[in-house]
Structure formats: C-alpha cells, structure tokens
C-alpha cells in the first residue's frame, strides 16, 4: 500500500473514532441530565414516601412485582391480537373485495351477453326492414318481376356479404343489373297456312 493511501486511511480512522467518541459523550451527557432531572428526584420522593409509610411502600412493591407478569402477558396478548386480527381483517377484506369484484364481473359478462343478443336481434330486424323496403321499392320502379328479383338479390348479396368477404370465400359477387325497358318473353306466332313457329325476341 502506498504511503499516501495509508496516511489517508489513518486519518479517516482517527476522524471516525473522534466522531464516535463525540456521539458517545453526547449520549452520556443526555443520560446523565435525564438521570439528574427525573430519576434522582423521583427516587428520592419514593424513598421519602417509603420512609413515611413503610407498610404502603411494601404493599406497592409486592403488588408491582406480582402484577409485572400479568401486565407483560396482557401487553403481549394485545399486540399479538392486534397483529393477528389486523392481518385477518386484511385477508378477510381482500377475500370480500375479490368476491364482490368477481360477482360484478360475472354480472357484467351476463349483461354483455344479453346486450349481444338484443344487438343481433335489433340488427336483424333493421336489415330485414331495409331489405323489405328495398324489395317493395324495386317492385315499384321495375317493369318486370324478374328484374326486380334480380336487382333485389344483387343488393341483398352485397349487403349481407361484402365484396371483400366474397373474394376471400371464393364466391363471385353478383352484378347489379338495372331494370330493363325491354320485355323478355317467349311467344308462339301462328301464321295462316303455316305451322306454329316459336319466336324469341331479344
């Protein structure tokens, strides 16, 4: 070890010893002061009362000696009961709080299930009402029933199955066909002197 480090360590050691001695001296001074102010006067007062009433002093001394153990046991019981009951109360409170929170969570799950059911029912009703309205509207504005049905099928398909989902499922989205102004029908034309010739207008 270098001489400088040894000197520094010795200086720190001496400083620590001085601080310890000062602290010990301060504690001893405080203890002496307390002894002078409180212990000695009370001891002299008790000795004076004992000299004036020795029977009472003997009774108090015997009572204090015999009551020391019960008082100590009582204090131990009080502290232990406080710790045990306090810990038990904490555990009981934790159990009660957990039970209440768990019950509230179960109630929340049940409520969300009911809300989900009503949401599905309400959404289904709204979709059915909208599809009914659109079907009636298409029947009103289309010239033929097949055109109205095809347009309704196209709108219902696009509403219930979006195009992105149709691509994922591998189905081809239906194409909307506007109502045609032409009337498509198969007819049979009869010509005089000629047999029946089926004709199909395009």
The DSSP annotation for 99-122 comes to: HHHHHHHHHHHHHHHHHHHHHHHH
Query: Residue 162: what pLDDT?
Result: 67
User: Residue 107 has what pLDDT?
Assistant: 92
Report the pLDDT value the prediction gives residue 165, as an integer from 0 to 100.
Answer: 64
- The number of residues making up the chain comes to 202
With a CB cutoff of 8 Å and minimum separation 6, the contacts of 150 are 177
| Dist. CA 159–CA 178, nearest whole Å | 17
Please identify which residue in the block is written with the tokens 């055109």. Answer: 147
- Residue 120 is assigned to a structural domain of this protein: no
* Radius of gyration for the alpha carbons in the chain, expressed in angstroms and rounded: 52
Position 175 scores a pLDDT of: 44
| Residue 89 counted as domain residue | no
Mean pLDDT score of the chain: 77
58 within some domain: yes
Does 8 fall in a domain? Answer: yes
* pLDDT at position 104: 92
Mean pLDDT of 97-122: 92
Q: Which residue has the higher pLDDT, 168 or 171?
A: 168
- Across-strand partners of 197? 189
Q: What is the pLDDT of residue 166?
A: 65
Q: What percentage of residues in the chain have a pLDDT greater than 90?
A: 13
The stretch 136-162 carries a mean pLDDT of 82
In a domain, 140, yes or no: no
111 lies in some domain? no
pLDDT band at 103 (very low <50, low <70, confident <90, very high): very high
Cα–Cα distance measured from residue 110 to residue 61, given in angstroms and rounded to the nearest whole number: 72
pLDDT at site 97: 93
Q: Is 121 contained in some domain?
A: no
What is the model's pLDDT at position 114? 92
Residue 196 is predicted with a pLDDT of 47
Instruction: Flag whether 17 is in a domain.
Output: yes
User: Which residue would you say has higher pLDDT here, 170 or 86?
Assistant: 86
Cα angle 150, 156, 162; round to 5: 120
Contact between residue 189 and residue 199 where contact means Cβ atoms under 8 Å apart:
yes
Q: Where are the alpha helices (DSSP H) in 53-182?
A: 54-141, 145-160, 163-169
What pLDDT was estimated at residue 113?
Answer: 92
Domain count along the chain: 1
pLDDT score for 197: 47
Q: Token pair 């009951």 is at which residue?
A: 85
Closest CA to 185 of 153, 145, 142: 145
Burial class of residue 147, CB neighbours in 10 A (0-12, 13-18, 19+)? buried
Full domain range(s) for residue 10: 3-84
């Amino acid at each position: 070890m270098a001489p400088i480090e040894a000197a520094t360590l010795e200086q720190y050691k001496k400083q620590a010893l001085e601080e310890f001695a000062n602290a010990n001296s301060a504690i001893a001074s405080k203890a002496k002061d307390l002894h002078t102010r409180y212990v000695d006067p009370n001891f002299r007062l008790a000795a004076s009362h004992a000299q004036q009433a020795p029977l009472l002093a003997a009774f108090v001394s015997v009572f204090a000696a015999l009551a020391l153990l019960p008082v100590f046991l009582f204090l131990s019981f009080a502290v232990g009961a406080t710790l045990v009951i306090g810990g038990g109360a904490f555990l009981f409170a934790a159990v009660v709080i957990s039970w209440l929170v768990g019950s509230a969570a179960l109630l929340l799950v049940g409520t969300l299930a009911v809300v989900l059911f009503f949401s599905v029912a309400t959404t289904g009703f709204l979709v059915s009402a909208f599809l009914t309205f659109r079907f009636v509207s298409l029947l009103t504005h289309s010239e033929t029933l097949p055109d109205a049905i095809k347009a309704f099928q196209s709108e219902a398909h696009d509403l219930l199955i979006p195009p992105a989902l149709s691509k994922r499922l591998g189905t081809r989205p239906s194409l909307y066909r506007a109502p045609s102004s032409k009337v498509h029908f198969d007819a049979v034309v009869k010509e005089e002197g000629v047999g029946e010739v089926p004709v199909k207008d395009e």
